[in-house]
Structure 1
Amino acid sequence: MKSFLVTTLMVLGASAVPMPMPIPPGIPAASTAKTQLASLTVKAYADDGNYDRDLFPTWNTISGSCNTRETVLKRDGTNVVVNSACSATSGSWYSPYDGATWTAASDIDIDHMVPLKNAWVSGANAWTTAKRQQFANDLSSPQLWAVTDNVNQAKGDKSPDAWKPPLSSYYCTYARAWTQVKYTWALTITSAEKTALTSMLNTC
Structure 2
Amino acid sequence: MRRLLSAGALAVVLTIVLAPAASATPPNIPSASTAASRLAALTVRAESNHSSYNRDLFPHWITISGTCNTRETVLKRDGSGVVTDSGCAATSGSWYSPYDGATWRAASDVDIDHMVPLAEAWSSGAYAWTTSQRQSYANDLGGPELWAVTDNVNQAKGDKDPAEWQPPLASFRCTYARAWIQVKWYWNLSVDSAEKSALTAMLNTC
Q: TM-score, normalised by structure 1?
A: 0.92
CA-CA distance at 1:60 after TM superposition = 1.1
Instruction: Give the counterpart of 2:178 among 176, 179, 188.
Output: 176
TM-aligned CA deviation for residue 16 of structure 1: 2.2
CA-to-aligned-CA distance 1:50-71 (integer Å, 9 cap, x gap): 1000000001111100000000
Instruction: List per-residue Cα deviations over 1:149-196 (Å, max 9, x = no partner).
Output: 000000000000000000010010000000000000000000000000
Q: Map 1:1-204; keep pairs closer than 5 Å.
A: 15-204=17-206
Q: Which has the higher strand share?
A: 1
Identify the structure with the greater helix proportion: 2
Asked if 2 retains the 8 angstrom alpha-carbon contact of 1:21 and 1:96, the reply is no
Q: Which amino acid aligns with 1:162?
A: E
Counterpart residue number, 1:5: none
State how far apart, in whole Å, the 2-side matches of 1:138 and 1:23 are.
14
- SS of match in other structure, 1:18: coil
Q: Percent identity?
A: 68
Tell me the amino acid that sits aligned with residue 77 of structure 1: G
Distance change >3 Å, CA 88–CA 48, structure 1 → 2: closer
Q: Distance in 1 between matches of 2:110 and 2:68?
A: 16
Structure 1: gaps of 5 or more residues = 1-11
* Kept in 2: contact 1:22–1:96 (CA 8 A): no
The unaligned stretches of length 5 or more in structure 2 are 1-13
Task: Note the alpha carbon deviations across 1:44-103, whole angstroms, 9 max, x for none.
Answer: 122441100000000111110000000000000000000000000000000000000000
Please give the alpha-carbon distance, in whole angstroms, between the structure 1 residues aligned to 2:87 and 2:77: 17
Q: Does the 8 Å CA contact 1:93/1:103 hold for their aligned counterparts?
A: yes
Alignment partners' CA distance in 2, 1:194 and 1:116: 18
Give 2:10's aligned residue: none
Q: What CA RMSD, in Å, does the superposition of the two structures yield over aligned residues? A: 1.3
1:101 counterpart SS class = strand
CA distance in 1 between partners of 2:128 and 2:164 (Å): 24
CA distance in 2, matches of 1:120, 1:63: 27
Using structure 2 for the length normalisation, give the TM-score: 0.91
Q: Deviations over 1:93-129 (max 9, x none)?
A: 0000000000000000000000000000000000000
Q: Distance in 2 between matches of 1:47 and 1:61?
A: 29
Q: Which has the larger radius of gyration?
A: 2
SS at match of 1:140: coil
Tell me, what secondary structure is at the counterpart of 1:49?
Answer: helix
